[in-house]
Amino acid sequence: MAGKKSYVKDYMTKNVINVTPETKTEEVISLMKESRHNSYPVVKNGKLVGMITAFDIISKEWGETVKELMTKKLVVANQDLTINDASRVMFRRGISRMPVVDGHGALVGIITNTDMVRSHIERSTPNKVEYFKKTMEQLYGIKTTLKHMPVETNKLRPTQDKVYADELEGRAYELEKGLAEPAIVVKTGDRWILVDGHHRAVASKQKGYETVDSYVVDLGQDIKLGMEKTADKAGIRTFNDIEIIDDDKHPLIALTESMQDQASQDDD
């Protein structure tokens, strides 16, 4: 049902201006004036070791070189990270530019908030509900009906094994303000299968809402869906079976300090 995923490598800037720890601070200031960028990755021996920003220069005690002022602890991404995951991490960390590195810690690009906006503008996917409805009809050779209606929260069968705490906060805010988009649910037999909108549904459950605003695709008969079978195997039957991820740890996200520590161990 979902459209093609977008990845950091598709939108990052690849030819990134960078400096070294030995670059003079005065040179960085001149570079900032010329390029109109307010931050630069710091690279040593091909590896990303920090970031120097205008804020570092004006807020810290003056240093003659970049190494005296740069920020060493950075959140960095692998280029195979999805745009959605990158957006989540950047929002939670409050950062506007995230360096992108390869498996060896070498700088390969940088992803910015502007890139995130561009990725969403360029992403042209068909209407989720109609696309899913047609997919069900073609897959099972049936005619379905579509209704926009509230569905009892306790009747919903989840099919996703995890949600993120920060996104739950966003969905909870939208629910309170009446801004949340409807979830997508399949009615098959007497079962209500939650297809899309797990963060909204979990947030509704946490808030004690009795119903979830939903688009319901009614199959008109009892068909065991593939996503149901997958959920069965994973032991996902109620919202209590969903894991809430309360941090931004991700296999394609790292901290420069941890990367440097690993490099030191490898050299020993």
- Is 91 in contact with 22 (CB distance < 8 Å)? no
- Asked if residues 95 and 86 have their Cβ atoms less than 8 Å apart, the reply is no
| Matching CATH number, 128-237, of 3.40.50.2000, 3.40.50.920, 3.40.50.300, 3.90.1530.10 | 3.90.1530.10
Domain ranges of the chain: 8-122+249-267, 128-237
Token readout for 59 is: 């807020």
pLDDT one-digit tens code per residue, 160-199: 998 888 778 878 888 888 877 889 999 999 999 999 889 9
Average pLDDT over residues 235-260: 73
SS3 122: helix
pLDDT, position 261 = 55
Q: Tokens 């690279």 appear where?
A: 43
Query: pLDDT for 64-105, tens place per residue?
Result: 999 999 999 888 999 999 888 888 888 778 888 899 999 889
Query: According to the CATH classification, is domain 8-122+249-267 in 3.10.580.10?
Result: yes
- Rounded to an integer, what distance in angstroms lies between the CA atom of residue 141 and that of residue 42? 58
Rounded to whole angstroms, the maximal C-alpha distance in the chain is 74
pLDDT-derived band at 120 (thresholds 50, 70, 90) equals low
The confidence score (pLDDT) of residue 174 equals: 82
